[in-house]
């Protein structure tokens, strides 16, 4: 277990000492889109993070898992980085992998997915991971994630593992 001083609350019960699966697709990881940014940010926060995407075996030296079932018992939360139409069965797969939380990013939450999570017993967290990152000024003002999350709790830079 990590030293207590290195543990920080992200949001709604999610902590930096938890294990996360970032669920995306090959394109969203390889082309440095949202799934890649979330994966990198959670790693910077000191979290244990597993990228999940079909058709991709490695990502910057890390193993990429093709499905959540490969992570059974290893993850506390699944972070979804795909639009709802690509999230068929993800709630059931997350539950079967042993996750207790599903973290919906901006624009991928639906009422139907919320109800499915509640029915199966998964805690729903909504909001972008990148809102909890500290952005360096003055360039922070150019980053939309800074403005979207300017009132959110931030993980202090001293907790980052770069």
The pLDDT tens digits of the residues spanning 68-99 come to 999 999 999 999 999 999 999 999 999 999 99
Measured between alpha carbons, how far is 116 from 138 in angstroms, rounded to an integer?
42
Span 7-48, pLDDT tens digits = 888 888 999 999 999 999 999 999 989 899 999 999 988 899
- Total residues belonging to the chain: 162
3-state secondary structure of 62: strand
Please report which residue ranges of the chain form alpha helices under DSSP H: 26-30, 34-44, 90-96, 111-120, 144-148
At 78, phi and psi to the nearest 5?
A: -110, 125
Neighbours of 101 (CB within 10 A): 20
Its CATH architecture, for the domain 4-129, is: 3-Layer(aba) Sandwich (3.40)
């Amino acid at each position: 277990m990590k030293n207590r001083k290195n543990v920080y609350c992200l949001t709604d019960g999610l902590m930096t000492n938890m294990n996360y699966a970032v669920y995306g697709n090959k394109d969203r990881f390889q082309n440095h889109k949202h799934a890649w940014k979330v994966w990198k940010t959670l790693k910077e926060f000191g979290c244990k993070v597993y990228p999940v995407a079909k058709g991709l075996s490695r990502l910057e030296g890390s193993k990429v898992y093709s499905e959540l079932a490969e992570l059974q018992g290893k993850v506390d939360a699944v972070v979804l980085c795909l639009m709802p139409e690509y999230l068929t069965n993800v709630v059931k797969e997350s539950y079967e992998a042993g996750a207790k939380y599903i973290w919906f990013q901006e624009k991928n939450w639906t009422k139907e997915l919320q109800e499915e999570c509640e029915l199966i017993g998964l805690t729903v967290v909504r909001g972008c991971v990148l809102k909890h990152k500290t952005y360096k000024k003055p360039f922070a003002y150019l980053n939309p994630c800074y403005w979207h999350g300017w009132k959110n709790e931030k993980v202090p830079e001293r907790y980052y593992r770069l």
